[in-house]
Amino acid sequence: MYLKKLLSTTSNFKKTAYHHYGHSPLSLLKFMYYSGIRINTFIVYENDLTKELCEHNLETDFRVVKPTMEELKKIRSGMDLSREFYYDRIYNAKTCYLAFKDDKVAYIHWVFFKGDYSRFLILRDGIAELNYNTTMPEFRGIWLSAKMMAYISKIKPKSKTRGARVILRKLKISGLNTLGSSLFPPDIRMNPTMIIAIPIAISL
């Protein structure tokens, strides 16, 4: 699994760097630093899906689909997309959600279940892991990540799913700030279930 991701990262180095940090030579240096040098901290948040959840507040002009992997391949065809759209190839992931606006791909989020590969968790029955997501540059700044996490939790990815765990890199402060409004009711304090600090260089 690690080798597949390493090959994907190196083969799409420039494209992935520009996707995350903007079209600038400085983006390449940032990507090298955060992906190969810096020790990153990942926080795991857990939500009980059997309790009442906040509304997702996703705008009605967004269309959410849960494609099969064959459908995802067709969607990707002819598009220049970052590695977040290829985790079926890297980790043999089987479930993802896409958000479209005006037939443009705006967002992707992968969901993992028992039997699927997980970098951090031992996934048991009834637990879903939400990990590996990205928003296309033109749709950033509208809290789309938070709304989609809430949307996925609200519909429950599988009928017997009782809990959802979200993996966030501590560096993404905006992600931490939006998580409370997306996955947790306002009267419940948002607490991490565990904190993992690992060198990103060995887990690209």
The confidence score (pLDDT) of residue 138 equals 94
Residue 179 to residues 37, 93, 94, 192, Cα–Cα distance (Å):
27, 23, 24, 11
For the four alpha carbons of 90, 133, 195 and 191, in that order, the dihedral sign comes to: negative
Per-residue confidence at 47, pLDDT binned at 50, 70, 90? confident
CA distance 12 to 17: 8
Q: What is the CATH number of domain 40-197?
A: 3.40.630.30
Helix (H, G, I), strand (E, B) or coil at 196: strand
Domains of the chain, by residue range, sit at 40-197
* 14-18, 59-63, 125-129: the lowest-pLDDT one: 14-18
- Examine the pLDDT at 204 and tell me if it is beyond 90: no
Instruction: Write down the pLDDT at residue 171.
Output: 52
User: What confidence tier does 157 reach under pLDDT thresholds 50, 70, 90?
Assistant: confident
Positive or negative, the Cα torsion across 2, 77, 114, 107? positive
Six-digit token pair at 149? 């996490």
Q: What global pTM score does this model have?
A: 0.72
